[in-house]
Amino acid sequence: GEDVEQSLFLSVREGDSSVINCTYTDSSSTYLYWYKQEPGAGLQLLTYIFSNMDMKQDQRLTVLLNKKDKHLSLRIADTQTGDSAIYFCAESNQAGTALIFGKGTTLSVSS
């Protein structure tokens, strides 16, 4: 079945780059997504990438997609303490009716 895997924790220092990795199983997903969740809140969409792209850049965020290896990564440049949150990778299910989320990576940024 469809599955999305992420490492659970990442700790970086303020000003460094953060790289959060994700692997997924469904190669038919048209879009792949990164969501952010701050403590006690809902999720908000950070960015997405179309499956025929290798890279997408949006200000401090860079998404890399390796479709052959089914590997997705999110790079946050110049990480700030306000970036501390849980980051979820997601893909569409095969029917295209719902999203499948990974377990989330908790990013901790120290000053």
Q: Binding to another protein by residue 13, rule CB under 8 A? A: no
The interface region with another protein, picked from 15-23, 61-69, 70-78, 101-109 by CB under 8 A, is 101-109
CA-nearest of 84, 91, 79 to 105 is 84
- State the Cα–Cα distance between residues 89 and 79, nearest whole angstrom: 18
3-class secondary structure, 58: strand
Q: Binding to another protein by residue 44, rule CB under 8 A? A: yes
How many Cβ atoms are within 10 Å of 48's Cβ, its own excluded? 16
Instruction: Quote the least distance from Cβ 24 to another protein, whole Å.
Output: 13
Residues that bind another protein (CB under 8 A): 8, 30-31, 33, 40-45, 48, 50, 88, 92, 96-104
